[in-house]
Structure 1
Amino acid sequence: MTRFSQPSFLIGPPQPLILTLENHGRTAFDLYRSIASSSQPSFLLDSGKGTDRENHYSFLGSNPFSVLTGQQGQAHLRTEEAIEYVSNNPFDGLRRLFDGPQIAPPPGLPSFLGGAIGYFSYDLVRDFEVLPSMAKEDLPIPYLQFGLYDLVTAVDHQTARLHIIFCPPMERFLGESRETLYREGLDRLAEWEVRLSGQPAPLADLPSFDQMAFHPDQTRDAYLNRVRHCQAYISSGDIYQANLSHRFTLQPPSTYNDGTDRQAYEQELYRRLQAVNPSPFSGLIHFDDVTLISSSPERLVRLHNRQADTRPIAGTRPRGLDDRDDQRLIDELLANEKERAEHLMLVDLERNDLGRVCQFGSVQVDEFMAIEQYSHVSHIVSNVSGTLRSDATPFDLIQALFPGGTITGVPKIRCMEIIEELEPVRRGPYTGSFGYIGWNGDLDLNIIIRTLVWCEGKGYLQVGAGIVADSDPAKEYEETIQKAQAFFKALQRT
C-alpha cells in the first residue's frame, strides 16, 4: 500500500506515509471536486501546464486540522475543539507554527508533503513597515489565513500518478507513539483513496453566466487622473516606477444564495477560467469567508533545499491576430526602451531583496527577458535565484520579498505609500500571495494577480499596470483591460 516499509516509519526519523496510485486521466480539478466540501476549507494548487521548468505537480486537499487567521494586531488558531490566541502579530503567529526541527523527506518525492496552505493579503506588509492609512478598507478579509494540512494529494503530471501523503507536524512525531501515527495514517490514506476514486457530482445548473458582468469601481478618467498624479511623483524624484491598479466587481444574479450556491459558482468559474487561460500558478483556495480563484502567471518566491528563486514579470503586450502579428508585437515589446528599462529596474530590485537573506555572491539572474505567452497577453519574464543563508529562515525570505516589487514599484516603501494615497480602496488579497509552506521548510508562493476574490456573495477582480515617467496613461489603462480579458471571456464561455 505504501512506498515505505512499516519498520521505516515506525523506528526511523520522522517521514511521511505515502500511497501512490495511477491517475487514469483525471484532471487535478476533477480530483479536487471529489474531495472539496462547501463546509470545510479546501485548496487546489494547479500547475496546469505541467512543464519541466516549473513544478510538474499539482496539490489538493480539504479539511485542515486547524486554521490560522491573522488580522492587524492578532492571530488565532482554530481547531474543532477551540480557538487559541497565538500572537499579536499575524506573520509571527504563522512563523511560530514552524519553529523547531523540520521533517526531512526521502528523495524523489513532491516538494510539498504537508504544512500550511493559504494566502497573505497585500496589507500584511503593515506588520513589516509603517504605512499611512488613507484608502478605505471595504472588504472584511484577514491579513493572512492558512489551513494546516497533514493529508494532501500530489498529482504528478509527468508520470500520471497520484501520491496521497500523510505527514503530521513534528510535534506529533515527538509527542505520540509511532504505532498510533502509523495506524492513523493507514486509515486516512485508505479513506482518501476511496474519496478520490469517486466521480465528482455534476456542477449544479446555474443561471447563465453571460447574464453577469464585471462593473468597474472607478471610471476610466479617474484611473487616468491617478496615473498622471503618479507621474507627478516620478517627476519630483519620489519614485522611479509604481504599479497602479483599479478594481471590478462581479454581482451574481438575484437568485444567488451564498450558502447553497457559492461552491458551485466558484468551481464553475474556475473551470471556465482554466479553459480560457491556464497558467503556471493557478489555483483555488476556499475558506469560510473568502475564496481565491486564480490564474496567476507570476511566482513571488520558491524555496527548495535552501535554494530560493523569484520570477518577476514586467512588460506586457496583447496577443496578435495571428502568429505573424504575435511575433511583431513581441519584437516591438523587446525592442521598447521603456519596457526594457522598467524590467531591468525590477530585476535589480528582486536581486537586492534576495541579497538581504542569501549567501554573499550566490544571487544571480539565471534567465533574463524571456517571453511567456498566455491567452490574451505576452509578458517579459526573468528568473533570479540565490542560496538562503544558514542563519535565515523561510519566513525571513518571505519577509524580504513581500510584497513583490513588480506590483509595488521602485523604491518599494515609497511606492506603497503612494499606492495607499492614490488607490481608493485597500487591495486586500490582490498583489498579496498564496501557496504552500511545508513541514520540510520548502515553500512556493505566487503573486495574487489575475485572481477573483469571492467575498460576501460578490467577486472582486483587480488589475494594474507599471507606471513610469513616459507612460501614456490611456495605453496603461488599456493594458489593465487586456489583463482582465481572461475573466471577461470566462463569463461567456460554456
Structure 2
Amino acid sequence: MATFPTKDDFKTSYKAGKAQVLWTAMVADLETSVSAYLKLAEAENYSSLLESVEGGAIRGRYTFIGLKPDIIWRCEGDRPEINRRTLGGVREEDFEKIDKPSLESLRDLFSESLIELPEAMPPSAAGLIGYMGYDMVRLMEKLPDAKEDIMGTPDSMFMRPTIMVVFDSITDLITIVTPVRPSDDISSDLAYLRAEERLNDIISALSQPLSKSAQSMDETASFEEPVSNTSKEKFAAMVARAQDYIAAGDIFQV
C-alpha cells in the first residue's frame, strides 16, 4: 500500500524543521466508522469519534477517529494543566500545571500543533480534538458563581492524536494519517520508519474481526427508571426567565 509523501520529500521537510503528515489510503469496503472505532479504540483510554453533520440534520462527508494522543490538555476554570507523556499510558501524576490563563495556554497549544496539510488531504486530519464546556464562558464574561460540579469532568479538554482515521462517505476511502514533528534526537529515516509502523499497525488492526467484547456492546443495556431533578413548575419558571433574556438580547441559545 502506497505511503505519502515519498521518503525523499519527507526527509527534505523534516530537515527543514517542518511538521508534516505521513498517510495512506484504503477502500472502506464493508468497514464502517463505528466498526473501525470499536476495533481501534477498545484498549484506548483517550480516543474520539467525530461525525460531521451539515445543517444540524444531514450527515456530512467525513468521519474522524482520533487515537493515541501525545498531548492531553485540560482545565478547571482558569487552572490549566497539560500532560506531554501520554503515549506510554495516561497517569494523573504526569499532568503539570500551566502558569497562564486557560484560554491563553490553549491558544499556545493550538499554535504549537498547527500542521499544513496537503491539498488532497481531508480537512481536520491532524491537530487537536476536544471540547469546551458551557462553563468556559465564565472565562469570557462576568457571570455568577457556577453551581456545584457533580460530574467531576474538566471544563475543557483537548488531545492531540498521533493517529487519525478519516472516513470519506463520497469516495468510500479510509485515509490513515499520522503527524510527524521534527526532533533533534530522531533522524528523518527513523522518524519515517516509526510513522510507517504506526500506519501499518492501524491497517493490521482494521483487518481483524471485531472482538467478542466489542460485539457485546451492541446488546441492549438496562437502566434504572429516570428521575427528574427539577419539578415541572421550576422548569417552566426557568423557561420563562430564559425567554426574558432572549427578548432582552442577552442570550440567543440556552
Instruction: Tell me the number of residue pairs that the alignment of Structure 1 and Structure 2 aligns.
Output: 236
- Structure 2: gaps (5+ residues): 89-93
Distance 1:212 1:96, change over 3 A: same
Match of 1:46?
51
Whether the 8 Å CA contact 1:40–1:62 is kept in 2: the answer is: no
2: CA distance, partners of 1:156 / 1:198: 21
* Residue of 183, 206, 211 corresponding to 1:196: 206
Whether the 8 Å CA contact 1:37–1:62 is kept in 2: the answer is: no
2:9 is the counterpart of 1:11:
no
2:21 is the counterpart of 1:32:
no
Q: Any idea what SS the aligned residue of 1:99 has?
A: helix
Letter in 2 for 1:411: D
2: CA distance, partners of 1:141 / 1:210: 24
2:195 is the counterpart of 1:185:
yes
Match of 1:133?
145
TM-aligned CA deviation for residue 230 of structure 1: 4.2
TM-aligned CA deviation for residue 90 of structure 1: 2.2
Match of 1:270?
none
1: CA distance, partners of 2:174 / 2:97: 36
* Residue of 182, 187, 199 corresponding to 1:173: 182
Whether the 8 Å CA contact 2:53–2:60 is kept in 1: the answer is: no
Equivalences for residues 48-447 of structure 1 within 5 A: 55-78=60-83, 79-80=85-86, 82-99=94-111, 102-133=114-145, 135-168=147-180, 172-173=181-182, 175=184, 176-202=186-212, 203-204=215-216, 209=221, 212-231=224-243, 234=244, 239-241=245-247, 410-412=249-251
1: CA distance, partners of 2:48 / 2:131: 11
Q: Any idea what SS the aligned residue of 1:26 has?
A: coil
Letter in 2 for 1:173: P
2: CA distance, partners of 1:56 / 1:21: 16
2: CA distance, partners of 1:143 / 1:2: 38
Whether the 8 Å CA contact 1:70–1:89 is kept in 2: the answer is: no
TM-aligned CA deviation for residue 177 of structure 1: 3.2
2: CA distance, partners of 1:105 / 1:137: 39
Whether the 8 Å CA contact 1:90–1:143 is kept in 2: the answer is: no
Whether the 8 Å CA contact 2:44–2:67 is kept in 1: the answer is: no
TM-score normalised by the chain length of structure 1:
0.44
Match of 1:418?
none
Q: Any idea what SS the aligned residue of 1:56 has?
A: strand
2: CA distance, partners of 1:11 / 1:36: 33
Distance 1:219 1:186, change over 3 A: same
Whether the 8 Å CA contact 1:35–1:61 is kept in 2: the answer is: no
2: CA distance, partners of 1:154 / 1:216: 39
2: CA distance, partners of 1:25 / 1:132: 51
Q: Any idea what SS the aligned residue of 2:182 has?
A: helix
TM-aligned CA deviation for residue 224 of structure 1: 1.1
2: CA distance, partners of 1:3 / 1:99: 24
Distance 1:160 1:67, change over 3 A: same
Whether the 8 Å CA contact 1:64–1:148 is kept in 2: the answer is: yes
1: CA distance, partners of 2:151 / 2:176: 36
RMSD: 2.8
TM-score normalised by the chain length of structure 2:
0.81
Q: Which has the higher contact order (CA 8 A, sep 6+)?
A: 2
TM-aligned CA deviation for residue 63 of structure 1: 2.3
Distance 1:137 1:85, change over 3 A: closer
1: CA distance, partners of 2:222 / 2:59: 34
2: CA distance, partners of 1:149 / 1:70: 18
Identity of aligned residues (%): 21
TM-aligned CA deviation for residue 31 of structure 1: 0.4
Distance 1:128 1:230, change over 3 A: closer
TM-aligned CA deviation for residue 216 of structure 1: 1.8
TM-aligned CA deviation for residue 204 of structure 1: 2.5
Distance 1:206 1:193, change over 3 A: closer
Whether the 8 Å CA contact 1:115–1:149 is kept in 2: the answer is: yes
